[in-house]
Each structure stands twice: as structure tokens, then as C-alpha cells.
Amino acid sequence: MSTPPPKVKPSPLPENTSIGGYRVLRRLAAGGFGVVYLALDREGQQVASKEYLPASLATRAPGELQPQVAPEKLSLYRLGLKSFFEEGRALAQIAHSSVVTVLNFFRENETVYMVMDYLEAPRCRSSSSRRAASSTRRCSANPPFARSSTKCCAACAWCISTACCIWTSNRPTSSSPTTTAP
């Protein structure tokens, strides 16, 4: 019985690649559906650029711009392209302080890119019942990241973990009176 070959993640775009008028500085993150890059716009402002590049459907060799898709996976890849583009269109219409701003979305290199504001995640300082009150830890979402719809779960997890940290540190004990906020 032969073992299947190991899955190879598609290579990210080379640094200093120009896509849609944005210059890729470096890869920030990669996941099952794509790659997120730190990039600069024409005015020199940092932005996050999310590229649709599902590892299960496409490959890309180092230094290349266009992904390669096997013929038997092409229809599913194209469906994903369409959905990703529609996601960009929908998100670009939302203006809310809790949702990252989508600045642009476009097709290039046989894939789709979504450009968003680049945001750095805050640090989470908390104490837990197992550690002294002065101990600190960093949340899993602490490194700089670009929030997007696929990062929603990470952002929610960060909010929940922060709330739990605060609750654990400040919850009433059985001997303390219960109060309600005004």
C-alpha cells in the first residue's frame, strides 16, 4: 500500500511583486484558502492583501505569479474564485467599526485579491486563577494580522478569551457581595 505524496502548500508571491497597483512586502499568513500579504498602496500606506489560493485545489512554484490548477479541479477552483470575489464585493459595502474596511478587490494572475486596511492586533494581558495576578500571557491572535472575514473566528476567539480572562480575574467569590452595574 503506497502512501500519498505529502501536500505541498502553494508558494507565496515573491516580495516586491506588483499586483493591482500594490507592492507585496511579505507574507503575513497562509491557510487552507489563501495567503495574506503585507503590501503598500501607491501612497505608501500599509494594506493587507488576501489572495485566493486554496492549497487543496491549486499549486504555485516559487517565483511564479499564476497558480496551476489540475483540469479535474478547475470547475471547483472557478466556483471558489467567484465566491471570493462576491465576498469582496459584499464586504466592501460594509462600513462598521467592528469590520475591517475592504479597499479594493480585483482579478489578476488567474486568481482574486482582496485589499483591506492593515490592522495590528492588541496585546492581551490577563491573569488566571492558576497564576499570580501579575502574570501575563499573550493571546493567540497577538502577532500582527490582517483581519478579514476568514479571520473573524480568530477575532471572536480573542474577544472571548479576553472576556473570560477579565471574568476569571474579577468574578465574585462566594464570600463577596454580588453587585449589578448601573
Quick one: pLDDT band at residue 181, thresholds 50, 70, 90? very low
Q: What is the pLDDT of residues 56-107, one digit of tens each?
A: 999 999 999 999 999 999 999 999 999 999 999 999 999 988 888 999 999 9
**DSSP codes, 92-110:** HT---TTSPPEEEEEEETT
125-147: pLDDT as tens digits: 443 333 333 333 333 333 334 44
Query: What does pTM read for this prediction?
Result: 0.65
Q: For 11-55, what is each residue's pLDDT tens digit?
A: 999 999 999 999 999 999 998 889 999 999 999 999 999 999 999
Bridge-partner residues for 58, per DSSP?
69
Could you give all domains of the chain from N- to C-terminal order, each with its CATH number? Answer: 18-117 (3.30.200.20), 120-170 (no CATH)
